Amino acid sequence: MLQLDKVTRRFGTKVAVDNVTIEVPEGQMVGVIGASGAGKSTLLRMINRLIDTTEGEIAFAGTNVSTLKGQKLRNWQRDCAMIFQQFNLVQRLDVVSNVLHGMLNGRSTLATVFNVWPRQDIERAVEILERLGVAENAAKRAEALSGGQQQRVAIARALMQQPKVILADEPIASLDPRNAQIVMQALRDINRDDGITVITNLHTLDTARTYCERIIGMQAGKVVFDGGPDELTEAAARDIYGADGLAEAFSEATTSTSLGLPQRPRKPASELEAMPA
């Protein structure tokens, strides 16, 4: 169980995340949605301790992670792997080495610098790449892969560190619909098959609805919706995005995972009730 208790983050006078209290049981697949600036990335970054909380407490399995230091902090950061919109691979390094770098916390600096890895680790990295359908690229440099392939390598790197939680910050925002679908499917498979908790920020509503069992909607740093995909009514979406943002949230943006549908024209909010769930 991951627990956020009255968590707030300020940047100067700006309140990026405002008094958020949520509990995420182990194994849940959660989508965090909200307009630009709502606080989604700040929320994930605080969980992983890329940034500190200003107030409140974050606990995992009963341990307060907001105050961890040194090795214990590094252990926590290994337990909750981050996936980013821009993949964050080492572009000039081969794919399998990128995946092996997921184990950095458990290795000596020297072995890492010389890029020497135990055979069993290399085999495990290749197995994970196979599972994600990108093993044929294992020897290529990361830069030679498409965006969708690179994101799957980033997921493989995350799995290599045997995380308990995967935090994904708009993992499909740079991908075309087909690759977006493959990447979301991979995250869902990992969630279901391995029981790893997945918390992912997403830009479009339809993706959150399709892949996530729970959706948290943020607006100006606050949680304004927390429920299942079926509960995400137009009124709830209006609370999250505001009337002006609604049409964009529903539109078939490039980040959408809706495939096979003709590109829908952007609709005014008044017509959105007619949209399929």
Ligand X SMILES: Nc1ncnc2c1ncn2[C@@H]1O[C@H](COP(=O)(O)OP(=O)(O)OP(=O)(O)O)[C@@H](O)[C@H]1O
Interface residue list for ligand X (CB under 6 A): 11, 14, 16, 34, 36-42
Q: Of the two residues 11 and 233, which places its CB atom closer to ligand X in the complex?
A: 11
- Dihedral class, residue 222 (left if φ above 0, else alpha if ψ from -120 to 50, else beta): beta
146-205 binders of Mg ion (CB under 5 A): none
Position 257 contacts Mg ion (CB under 5 A): no
Q: Which does 11 bind (CB under 5 to 8 A by kind): Mg ion, ligand X, none?
A: ligand X
Cβ closest to ligand X, residue 38 vs residue 196: 38
Is residue 75 a contact partner of residue 84, using CB atoms and an 8 Å limit?
no
CB-nearer residue toward ligand X: 42 or 161: 42
Binding to Mg ion, residues 40-99 (CB under 5 A): 40-41
Of these partners, Mg ion, ligand X, none, which one is at the site of residue 36 (CB under 5 to 8 Å by kind)? ligand X
Which is closer to Mg ion, CB of 41 or CB of 53?
41
Q: Which is nearer to ligand X, 20 or 65 (CB)?
A: 20
Distances (CA, A) of 1 to 25, 26, 27, 158: 4, 5, 9, 20
- CB of 221 vs ligand X, minimal distance in Å: 7
Q: Closer CB to ligand X, residue 129 or residue 202?
A: 202
Q: Which residue's CB comes closest to Mg ion? A: 41
| Parallel/antiparallel/unpaired status of strands 214-219 and 29-33 | parallel
CB of 58 to Mg ion, least distance (A): 18
Partner whose binding site includes residue 34, from Mg ion, ligand X, none (CB under 5 to 8 Å by kind): ligand X
The residues, any chain, with a CB within 8 Å of residue 26's CB and separated by 6 or more, are 1, 164, 195, 197
Torsion angle (degrees, nearest 10) of CA 273, 274, 275, 277: 70
The runs of H, that is alpha helices, within 166-221 are 177-194, 205-211
Kind plus residue range of the DSSP H or E element containing 244: helix 234-250
**In the complex, minimum distance from the CB of residue 226 to ligand X, in angstroms, rounded to a whole number:** 16
| Cα atoms in the Cβ-side hemisphere of radius 13 Å centred on 125 | 22
Query: Taking the mean position of all CA atoms in its chain, how far away is CA 76?
Result: 17
**Residue 161 interacting partner from Mg ion, ligand X, none (CB closer than 5 to 8 Å by kind):** none
177, 180, 220, 183: which is closest to 198 by C-alpha? 183
The distance of closest approach from Cβ of residue 202 to Mg ion in the complex, given in angstroms and rounded to an integer, is: 10
Size of the site for Mg ion (CB under 5 A): 2
- The contact set with Mg ion (CB under 5 A) reads 40-41
